[in-house]
Structure formats: C-alpha cells, structure tokens
Homo-oligomer: A and B are copies of this chain.
Amino acid sequence: MSIASPCSGDSINLLIRRLNARATLSPAEREFLATQHYYTRSYAAGAAVRVEDERPNRPTLIVSGWACREQISPNGRRQLVSLLMPGDVIWAAGERRPIDLLEVVALSNLKVVDIADVTRAITKDPARFPSIVFGLGQLQFAEELNLLEHVVRLGSQPAHQRVAGLFIELYERARSIGFVTGRSFVVPLTQEHFGNLVGLSIVHIHRVLRRFKAEGVLQIRSGLVEILDEAGLARIAESSMTDYPCLPAITRQRVDRPALEMSAG
C-alpha cells in the first residue's frame, strides 16, 4: 500500500497551506497557485527522480510518497543526505544550490508535479507574489537547517541519539504537513534507509529500535511509527554522553504481534 494520495485538483493544496503558514498568501496568490495547470509524474520506489533530457532539473513538488537526496561515497556506501516528504520542493527556481546537484531517489512510490512554469512566472514578477516568494525561500531554509542538524548528528552523536534525533525530526515534519494522527504517522522507509540516513548498519538500527520499543519510547509496526513517549525521546536525543546507559541491557524481546488494523492514511 502507498500513502493516501490527493487527487490532481488539490494536489498543491498542501503547498499552499505550507506557504501560508510562513507568510499569509493574498487571495490573488492563492488563486494563482490553485488555478494553474500541473503535470504529474510518478516514480516507482527506488527510481531516480529526474526529468529526462532536462539538465538542470525543473522545479518539482512532491505530492505523495517520500524521496531523498543521496550521494554514493567513493567507498561504495550510500549516504542519504536529506529526506523529502510531500509538500517539499525539490529543485528550487533561481540560483542553483549545491544540494541540487545530488541525485534524488524515490524511497517509496512517488508522485510529483512539475512547478517549473509556475516558479518561472513567479520569479519573473516577484512583486506580484511576495508571500509565495518568501514562503518558498523559507522552505529552502528549513531544508538546509535540517542538513546542519544532520551534520551534528553524524559527527558527534552515538547511535541511539542519532536515531532519536531522526525520529523527532520526522515527527515534527510529518506533523507540520498534517500527516500525524494521534501520535502515529506513516514512514515508508526500511531499516536500511534509516541506516543510510544516520550512518549505521541495518542490524544496529534494529537494535536501537528494539530498545526504544522495550522502553516504551517509540514503536514501528508495518511502517507506522508511533511516538509512545515524546518527552522520553527528546531526553534521549539531548542526553549527555554518559546519561543514557548504552545498548546491551535488553537481550531478548519476544514479539507478541497483535493483529493490525490501521490503515495507511
């Protein structure tokens, strides 16, 4: 199953809401965005998100599914540099940024719309769309901020902190786009993806997650992340090096797997 996908008509409602949260759009701006015509493209999980024959790539909005910017290290390892969720814009208009040089890969089945024409119109007459321009800039800003936190995580934190920090980020981002119901949200990633994000092996990601579940902090069941103890999770992410007793402790964790009934909405 894939995540609930908005139908074509309101596929950019999410973007409008996000922009609106950063700078209130004028009715004219909202009208403009809502009445444009958007081309949809779909990618299978694992596919490179890229417009053929188009270099550099055209500004694109993620409608449903998740993707990442990735870089293959010279040693063959895969590093996921940043995560992209619905409502995120991939190749911003205007000046090229280094991050735009990285390959974008679909982590789940993915639907995007081309917003190249829209952004062209906007940058050609920015005075007409002040809040849109500002909001798009803020979205870029937020992604680069996440990147900086990522550097700190990778460079100076042990496994459990990295994972805790990652899930706090995911939680907040999912909530900001309205994808959290209760304390749960769908994350269409495998443990390998988590590992490639925070620089840990699959096996060790699993060990950390098992620990979190045993401590009632966080739980993942078939792609549904449930934050059981938000404060506890934050405490782990921000604990000093010696505070949190390291992994071994819990040795065995028998899984009494209850029947699942949650839908992936």
Contact = CB atoms under 8 A, between A and B. Distances in A.
Nearest to A165: B74
A247 to B, nearest CB: 16
Interface stretch (A40-48, A94-102, A124-132, A216-224): A94-102
Contacts of A75: 156-157, 161, 238-241
B154 A151 contact: yes
State the copy count for this chain. 2
A148 B237 CA distance: 23
A77 interface: yes
A12 interface: no
Contacts of A161: 74-75
B98 A141 contact: yes
B73 A156 contact: yes
A152 B71 contact: yes
Given A95-B137, A154-B155, A155-B79, A74 B237 contact: yes
Interface in A208-239: 237-239
Contacts of A245: none
